[in-house]
Structure 1
């Protein structure tokens, strides 16, 4: 099936999804600050291997709507977007893939709707069962207030910082969190009394894993939408913790696998590497950072296809 662009109405929120190929369905959920083209190096490989690929613009990103209320970005809403899209396109079951913030949706889709999800594949962020407190409460007692996840909490501050020059903000975020930066992994902190972007290193030239043309496309998207939708995903940590009370300590009920870069800051968070190792087929890639599907698409595609072959149709 040639590439199609669908716009699915989910309780008044329009969700954009790219649909290509035929065969068992694979759902792709990007992270922040990205949009559906995060998967540009996976889509043709998956289609060529006989899969139907649906790459989402998660709510608040790309061509999907960006609701005004922070609570509209909860995991209940994003999992609802996935299930409603499957219903609209007559997809009974699928494997779901998530990167970065998209893993929250992917893992909870598997937890909440194992009747619809055949397997889950995570990139960068492993599955961590719900604990005694929300991530944001745990962070507030463990890291400085300048830590990026805390810096992102107050509406308007990070938006102004990132939107002053979207292309430069994206360029620095991508480079600083990639394996191409010799100082990786880094712990992103806002400047005292200042912003985050100014503290991030800038590449000397074009980035090997992201062409200037691709960066321009990202900048065009975020120049149009702003960053608030993506940032709101960080502002629902407490709400997500409340919503997921029934799944406290739950294991993933479907087959799972993981791939991450050893230069990714995420794997340095306490307990995250051990959690990744418990996700069945776990792969750790030397020299790769946070954007592993762009930095090492060969290894990501190999691991993903290997996992898909094990998932019952």
Structure 2
């Protein structure tokens, strides 16, 4: 029996409601923000940084204002799939890239290759390769850490800063790893990555699809961080030993998740883990350095982020002169997948009303 238009619309409405209630991501974006992405994540342009290849991906009008998107862990440039079309549709030139150690970028062994100074140097090369002197940065998770540090180390390069999840923090009085150990025990994942890097990397690589199934889920009020993130290696091993039971709250489709599996089958997990293994070294490097950032900045905090809840940004106004904070409702840590329409609208609204300051170092170099 052929479906009438009314029957079809009724089924479509029910599917939409089911998707909303069950947090199933269909890849459909707000009509005003673009429905399809053109960025080809399978064909990067490579640039050189410190002798290593960094995979970059480009889209949008070449003469548009430049936005550099920086992913986190365990992510890749593809993490911005739901963000790129909104930004390019608004006329921005958008560059994403696989951090060194991730995706199609080179993944050298040795934690010295992943110090925060090196990650910022890579970002500098990405901006330079676009033939521009300055750019606006958007970072998520570890991308936010790199972005904030660029705001200190490359202030002359930076027009505006937008962080999703990750606050700019004051310098800790003691090594952060000591804080994690005291609060969460020796099997906190920061400590596990430091103490058992090869073993943990091999564990994740033994079944990357299962790893991403476990990781890329939304969270809800009342859940505890310990249930999802604090003890990642232990949680993943328990999940495998339990026979990989069905999980609720997936934020992306199986097809999208496959992009991550393929990428990590190429790069391995050692590069991303090396970011965490530099925690003590990065802390030592930052001692005595300035903490204040005057660059116009937007902090987007997901309401249900177990790792970095909105209250972790409460200190930021004291060290940031030009800051806007906004909470992302009904959303967990993987915000670009969990609530893409809100994220895209918040970014575009803020960019529209936050012009580059004419007296900023960035504008003087432009």
Quick check: TM above 0.5? Answer: yes
Describe the superposition over 1:124-144 as per-residue Cα deviations: whole angstroms up to 9, x where unpaired: 111102232332232223321
* Match in the other structure for 1:136: 177
* Match in the other structure for 1:86: 127
Q: Does 1:311 pair with 2:350? A: no
Between 236-245 and 212-221, the greater mean CA deviation after superposition = 236-245
Q: Residue 206 of structure 1 contacts residue 212 of structure 1 at CA under 8 Å; is this kept in 2?
A: no
Return the alpha-carbon distance in structure 2 between the equivalents of residues 184 and 95 of structure 1. Answer: 34
* Match in the other structure for 2:314: 274
Q: Residue 302 of structure 2 contacts residue 309 of structure 2 at CA under 8 Å; is this kept in 1?
A: no
Q: Residue 161 of structure 1 contacts residue 195 of structure 1 at CA under 8 Å; is this kept in 2?
A: no
Q: Residue 86 of structure 2 contacts residue 344 of structure 2 at CA under 8 Å; is this kept in 1?
A: yes
How far the C-alpha of 1:123 sits from its partner, in A, is: 0.8
**Quick one: structure 1 residues 190 and 206, their matched pair in 2 at CA, closer, same or farther if it must change by over 3 Å?**
closer
Between 196-205 and 127-136, the greater mean CA deviation after superposition = 196-205
* Match in the other structure for 2:293: 252
Q: Residue 92 of structure 1 contacts residue 116 of structure 1 at CA under 8 Å; is this kept in 2?
A: yes
Q: Does 1:25 pair with 2:66? A: yes
> SS at 1:247's partner residue?
coil
Q: Residue 39 of structure 2 contacts residue 57 of structure 2 at CA under 8 Å; is this kept in 1?
A: no
Return the alpha-carbon distance in structure 2 between the equivalents of residues 33 and 2 of structure 1. Answer: 21
Which of 73, 78, 89 lines up with 2:114 in the alignment? 73
Q: Residue 106 of structure 2 contacts residue 267 of structure 2 at CA under 8 Å; is this kept in 1?
A: no
Return the alpha-carbon distance in structure 2 between the equivalents of residues 190 and 242 of structure 1. Answer: 25
How far the C-alpha of 1:31 sits from its partner, in A, is: 0.5
Return the alpha-carbon distance in structure 1 between the equivalents of residues 253 and 222 of structure 2. Answer: 21
The TM-score, its normalising length taken from structure 1, stands at: 0.89
**Quick one: structure 1 residues 205 and 173, their matched pair in 2 at CA, closer, same or farther if it must change by over 3 Å?**
closer
Q: Residue 94 of structure 1 contacts residue 117 of structure 1 at CA under 8 Å; is this kept in 2?
A: yes
The TM-score, its normalising length taken from structure 2, stands at: 0.77
> SS at 2:294's partner residue?
coil
Which of 311, 327, 343 lines up with 1:284 in the alignment? 327
**Quick one: structure 1 residues 199 and 290, their matched pair in 2 at CA, closer, same or farther if it must change by over 3 Å?**
farther
Q: Does 1:103 pair with 2:144? A: yes
Aligned residues: 306
Q: Residue 161 of structure 2 contacts residue 295 of structure 2 at CA under 8 Å; is this kept in 1?
A: yes
Describe the superposition over 1:7-62 as per-residue Cα deviations: whole angstroms up to 9, x where unpaired: 11111111111111121110111011110010001101100101110101011000
**Quick one: structure 1 residues 161 and 14, their matched pair in 2 at CA, closer, same or farther if it must change by over 3 Å?**
same
* Match in the other structure for 1:198: 237
Return the alpha-carbon distance in structure 1 between the equivalents of residues 214 and 301 of structure 2. Answer: 20
Task: Tell which structure's C-alpha radius of gyration is larger.
Answer: 2
Q: Residue 114 of structure 2 contacts residue 278 of structure 2 at CA under 8 Å; is this kept in 1?
A: yes
> SS at 2:173's partner residue?
coil
**Quick one: structure 1 residues 264 and 138, their matched pair in 2 at CA, closer, same or farther if it must change by over 3 Å?**
same
For structure 1, the residue ranges without an aligned partner over 5 or more in a row are: none
Question: Higher helix fraction: Structure 1 or Structure 2?
Answer: 2
**Quick one: structure 1 residues 11 and 85, their matched pair in 2 at CA, closer, same or farther if it must change by over 3 Å?**
same
> SS at 2:225's partner residue?
coil
Q: Residue 303 of structure 2 contacts residue 330 of structure 2 at CA under 8 Å; is this kept in 1?
A: yes
* Match in the other structure for 1:220: 262
Return the alpha-carbon distance in structure 2 between the equivalents of residues 277 and 40 of structure 1. Answer: 31
Describe the superposition over 1:52-102 as per-residue Cα deviations: whole angstroms up to 9, x where unpaired: 101010110000111111011011101100111211221211111111111
The correspondence of residues 149-168 of structure 1 with structure 2, limited to 5 A, is 149-154=190-195, 155-168=197-210
Q: Residue 31 of structure 1 contacts residue 102 of structure 1 at CA under 8 Å; is this kept in 2?
A: yes
Return the alpha-carbon distance in structure 2 between the equivalents of residues 225 and 59 of structure 1. Answer: 10
Q: Residue 161 of structure 1 contacts residue 196 of structure 1 at CA under 8 Å; is this kept in 2?
A: no
> SS at 2:256's partner residue?
helix
How far the C-alpha of 1:207 sits from its partner, in A, is: 5.4
* Match in the other structure for 1:300: 343
The correspondence of residues 233-252 of structure 1 with structure 2, limited to 5 A, is 233-248=275-290, 250-252=291-293
> SS at 1:307's partner residue?
helix
Q: Residue 216 of structure 2 contacts residue 250 of structure 2 at CA under 8 Å; is this kept in 1?
A: no
> SS at 2:95's partner residue?
strand
For structure 2, the residue ranges without an aligned partner over 5 or more in a row are: 1-37, 357-362
Describe the superposition over 1:183-223 as per-residue Cα deviations: whole angstroms up to 9, x where unpaired: 634223449xx733034697736855301100111111112
Return the alpha-carbon distance in structure 1 between the equivalents of residues 96 and 338 of structure 2. Answer: 19
